[in-house]
Structure 1
């Protein structure tokens, strides 16, 4: 069973902004980026997507192009950063970031999700995913999946906007 995890295309947000559950629109480059994504995808049985519009727009494009069923799934939504949502990373207090680094798995003093919560949710989404699905999701979910599978660089996996990772 292979799953192809595709990161959404470039969002319309200032560089250096912390965002997770914030439902951002996409940059004007969407059409070009989506065309590049379509050229790289394997055949699939279904398209799963985070319900956030930065994923659903690309997922709709993929499902229409490949004539596949599109299924939204909350298991693939990005991590909730709570009070940090929409705040420039540079404006988040250093002691808060240090506390997160010191307890990477369980920190959630920002009022959102912890990394452990994200990982549990992604683990359940992986288990529920049908074989040979394309999943349009977010960097955090891709990192969690790579960590769960012990692939690439785990939590340090970097996926560019419109990039993908295949899990076998």
Structure 2
């Protein structure tokens, strides 16, 4: 029997915290940088850092990997969902322009197609691909990513129906939140467990 830990770290506050930032490559605020550095200061024994390519994740991830002298891997698959024409716009503006579509998006996202945006199922499939790839590569991995990625992975570990959007609307993932998942491998079977509190 073997055990592995994947620690998920959401990026810190951005310079546009009240916007729908998916593929939009916004920077961290000064406060966001501090939030992330404080969060990682409590972590121990990390032997690999995996990060989204978006600067709100990878800038601090590069610093962390360098300080800890561990390998760094930049993975496009754990970038946030691409919200197409809505991406980067403020929530206030989106609700002003598209009130009914926004309500439907948060309550029944499977039935909403954002113009030029990524389908929810495609997002889940790419995140799942990254997850499967990282499961047992290192004993203790830090994955620096996004709220949507973390919500999906929590739902996966808890075996929630991904077509039920409750994990999207009922899980609040704060800036620089830390979530730990332990993976036990026994007879080639994988048993993930959410470690709470992380």
Question: TM (normalized to structure 1)?
Answer: 0.89
CA distance in 1, matches of 2:77, 2:11: 15
Query: What SS does structure 2 have at the residue aligned with 1:40?
Result: coil
By how many angstroms is 1:71 displaced?
Answer: 0.6
**69-78 or 15-24: bigger deviation:** 15-24
Asked if 1 retains the 8 angstrom alpha-carbon contact of 2:86 and 2:114, the reply is: no
Which one has a bigger Cα radius of gyration?
A: 2
1:123 corresponds to 2:137: no
1:140 corresponds to 2:148: yes
1:41–1:77: structure 2 CA closer, same or farther, 3 Å change rule? same
CA deviation vs aligned residue, 1:123-144 (integer Å, no higher than 9, x gap): 1110011232110001110011
CA distance in 1, matches of 2:110, 2:5: 27
Asked if 1 retains the 8 angstrom alpha-carbon contact of 2:6 and 2:181, the reply is: yes
CA distance in 1, matches of 2:45, 2:85: 40
RMSD value, Cα: 2.1
By how many angstroms is 1:115 displaced?
Answer: 2.2
By how many angstroms is 1:151 displaced?
Answer: 7.6
By how many angstroms is 1:54 displaced?
Answer: 0.7
Q: Of 114, 118, 127, which residue of structure 1 is paired with 2:119?
A: 114
Q: Of 2, 7, 12, which residue of structure 2 is paired with 1:4?
A: 7
1:105 corresponds to 2:114: no
Query: What SS does structure 1 have at the residue aligned with 2:35?
Result: helix
For structure 2, the residue ranges without an aligned partner over 5 or more in a row are: 161-165, 183-198
By how many angstroms is 1:49 displaced?
Answer: 0.4
Query: What SS does structure 2 have at the residue aligned with 1:110?
Result: coil
CA distance in 1, matches of 2:33, 2:50: 20
CA distance in 1, matches of 2:82, 2:36: 25
Residue 192 of structure 2: aligned partner: none
CA distance in 2, matches of 1:96, 1:57: 34
Decide which structure has greater strand share: 2
CA deviation vs aligned residue, 1:35-57 (integer Å, no higher than 9, x gap): 31222223122100000111011
In the TM superposition, 1:52-91 aligns within 5 A as 52-91=54-93
CA distance in 2, matches of 1:101, 1:31: 28
CA distance in 2, matches of 1:159, 1:95: 25
For structure 1, the residue ranges without an aligned partner over 5 or more in a row are: none
Question: TM (normalized to structure 2)?
Answer: 0.76
Aligned length: 167
